[in-house]
Structure 1
Amino acid sequence: MTDFWLASGLLLLVALSFLLIPVLRGRRAQQEEDRTALNVALYQERVAELQAQGAEGVLNAEQLARGRDEAARELLDDTENAEPLRSARLGKALPILAAFLVPAMAVGLYLHFGASDKVALTQEFATAPQSLEEMTSRLERSVAAQPDNAEGLYFLGRAYMAQERPGDAAKAFERAVGVAGRAPELLGQWAQALYFANNKQWTAQFQALTDEALKADPNEVTSLGLLGIAAFEGERYQEAVDYWNRLLVQLPQGDSSRTALLGGIERAKEKIAAGEGKGSAAVATASAASLTVKVELADALKDKVRPDDVVFIFARAASGPSLPLAARRITVAQLPIEVVLSDSDAMMPNMKLSNFPEVQLMARVSRAGQPGKGEWIGRSSPLPSDTRKPQHLTIDSPDNPDK
């Protein structure tokens, strides 16, 4: 801020110079005018003396004319360097008064309408914060200075969540929704903050927010994770597995959240196997459908893919919706691999392997990480969903999503 005010002061000095220079020039012009008037008065006095001497007979006509000419030359020499008089003048008081009023008004208007607080925040954000508390404080001041900044409100909400202040986070996300609209990601974050602020007690409001978010984006990660947590806390372990498996497909292979998520899925499956939770008997019956498949890459494609390219292994209904019924996400570097697809890997609770008599196995290489579109694919023939025999799948054909 010191640099800013120094620069402002220099600009004010420049502005003052435009006001004070005319005053100084006016004083100089006045001095020139006074000197010219004195020279004229001396010239007139000299001419009067010459005329008096001529009348007394001291000077003849020729001497009188020569004296007048000499006096006129002296007057001309004294006045030829004088500046021309200006017809319009501001006077002395008005420019001086303006010289003090203009800077005072400029500072006052800037302090009222300006953005000195934003300048300070910009300079502060140029350096990395030393702690989460310092970052939160900066974000609070930024939001106070720019209340319609949805991005600032979003990051403030995330900072509050990191500080275990879900109530404050919920207010920040609610304001962000009001500014930016009902974006799925904001709705998911808002529902999550409300859930933890309400001591993990599920309500119709949270359900409505997550339903709206997933309707706009079926892969909205915060809503999927939150619904899995709520289902686990409510002892609906199969629902938790279903939601978390849908979330797992969206996470990159190296994401740090995958380990915790996989641990939660295993704990939920252990609860199901032990017969715990609500509706566990029905779940055990429904979970009977599972398919074992070994996936490998054709030799001809090994030079055309990269080790970090994403591979989606999934089963879809042979006739019916094209949405995957169960899916796994790996990378090319993990091929060949054997995986088991079952109802516990379902993408949606009401769309499981056991709900369809025939399914088709597919494996897709997608460099962009998109489950529905990629570069190379392998497909199986339709087979019963209760098949127990291990299947073999080779990725060997260019991908064509229409097939």
Structure 2
Amino acid sequence: MTELWLGLALFVLPLACVLLWPALRGAGAQRSAAESKRAALATLYREQRAELQSARDSGALDQRQFTELEAEMGRNLLAAEASLQSGGPARGGRGLLFALAALLPLAALGIYFSSDHIDDLRLYREVQASHQGKTTAADEARLTRQLKARVESHPDDLTSRYVLAQRLLVAGDLSGAVESYRYVVQRSPEAAGVKAELAQALFFAAGSRITNEVRQLTDEVLEIQPNNGTALGLAGIAAFDRKDYRAARDHWKRALVQLSPDSAAAQALAAGVQRAEKALADSGQPAAETVASSAAPAAANGPSIRLHVSLGEGIEAKPDTPVFVYARGADSPMPLAIVRLRAQQLPADVVLDKSRAMMPSRSIAGADAVELVARLAVHGDARPAPGDWQGSIESLPKASWGEPQTIVIDRQL
């Protein structure tokens, strides 16, 4: 929107000149020249005032800027009309008309570049680049810092705070994510989708447990959005914990049909449905239909890498310390496939394929070779930090992906 407004502002000047030309090209000074100029002035004033109002309504101008520009336009209009009434030189009238025509685009550009709108546009573009996997680790860290500074200086910018919350959740900063999500929900309680993500962040922050607050938020979301996938997943976990396996299965099945069959989330939900079906059968209750077919077969996930991950001898970690296992290409630090484990799960066998992609458009299916990394995140952050322990395979060509691989986490960063 901001780039469109800049283009429109630049377009106003030549357009105004075209509109004014019939009145200014010296039409026989004596025959209704004053009336023609007065009509042109009125038309131009109305058009520019309408553009000012549109800029204010879109947010490109605030009310103070709108008032100042409107007053300046009014002064120029009065001065031009006074010149016509006093019979001043035509050249002076033409100068005033051209000054008025130039006022809006030049003032709009000046205000835009002197305000923080251009910084907002730059930040938006960087967020888009991050979503497309076109940023480096340094870019990602800088972008997170910029978002934190943005929400501090603009507390009413809930969109930036929401984007920050999502980034903090992915990065493993659960307390920061919860704080940011909660801020947005408190000010926009009707935003059911954000409320569901807050419930998810609280679930992870509680060690993957359903707390009373998570349960309450989940119920509130499902009352507004019965098919919210995040809330249905949490509701299924809550039902399974209380041994209501039928409800757990039904919640997960409703969430499953909304997902791409080859996504990591779909695989996890399909496995959950199967667990619920089995628990129903073991309890003597009819399990009804299963959705095993909803989980895409391994072949549908394209090429895959099987990896055995273990901790090096003598390395100790708290049981819930995150372990990130991922594959990435040479063109970007963003993972092409990633699995999150906990230290207590090691040693573990992991499969990396396109169902583990962070974004559907970027997966290992499009890579000819990958770097494999397994990192014990001592500080809980998804990004490498001093003190973390790591193991890696620097380059694994596609021809070797069918062979089982092994990584031992034994090198401290």
Q: Give the TM bin, normalised by the shorter chain.
A: 0.3 to 0.5
- Could you state the TM-score of these two structures normalised by the residue count of structure 1? 0.37
